[in-house]
Amino acid sequence: MDNINIRRACADDCKGILRMIKELATYEKLGDDVHLTEQELRQDGFGDRVFYQCFVAELKSKETDEASSPQGDSLVGFAMFYFVYDPWTGRSICLEDFYVMRAHRGQGIGSEILKLVSQVAVESRCSVMTFLVAEWNADSIEFYRRRGAVNCTASEGWHVYNITRQSLQEIASDQKPWRDVVVQA
């Protein structure tokens, strides 16, 4: 960890963050699903209205033993998160993406990043941290389990659903035929 600096992301990190998002998506066999641009990432995290926060892990420069300039090539890990409000438990934090490049795993980088996100959650009085893990990703599941994570799919029976952008547009404009369907109890 002596050659790693973990810090809050800045706008200039977006190139490297997007690179790692794409690496993570490829690892999760979803590489074609990343449509986000560097500009959108910059605007959504560092614009007028912030939708996420992020920590990054970067290699320190060998010449100066200080953090490298934030151009993206020196980044080796990140955690992207945001706050949500649960009407049953109040404030919570959603860990959306969390990734350490394979060559840098096993050095404690992930543990340190998760520690920082957890500190933000505690300082913000969050009652829980939620996240998704692919069911085939045994290494990640074990990483989280060792830190006290509980699989809510198994213990509480919750399933995660998505409504796509196209469906959202149809719902918002009332153009779906289901609108007239009456469900009888």
Mind giving me the DSSP string for 78-136? EEEEEEEEETTTEEEEEEEEEEE-GGGTTSSHHHHHHHHHHHHHHHTT-SEEE----TT
Q: Residue 126: pLDDT above 60?
A: yes
Do strands 90-100 and 4-8 pair parallel, antiparallel, or not at all (unpaired)?
Answer: unpaired
pLDDT of 72 reads 53
The span from the CA of 2 to the CA of 106, in Å, is: 14
Domains and CATH numbers, the chain: 4-180 (3.40.630.30)
Residue 184 pLDDT class (50, 70, 90 cuts): low
Instruction: Quote the pTM value.
Output: 0.83
| pLDDT tier for residue 90 given thresholds of 50, 70 and 90 | very high
Annotated catalytic residue within 85, 99, 144, 161: 144
pLDDT over 90 (residue 146)? yes
Quick one: pLDDT at residue 64?
A: 42
The per-residue pLDDT for 9 is: 97
Catalytic-residue membership of 85:
no
Closest CA to 96 of 145, 167, 41, 32: 41
Q: Given this model, what pLDDT does residue 37 score?
A: 95
pLDDT digits (tens, 9 = 90+) for 5-56: 999 999 999 999 999 999 999 988 888 889 999 999 999 999 999 999 999 9
Q: Which residue has the tokens 């912030």?
A: 50
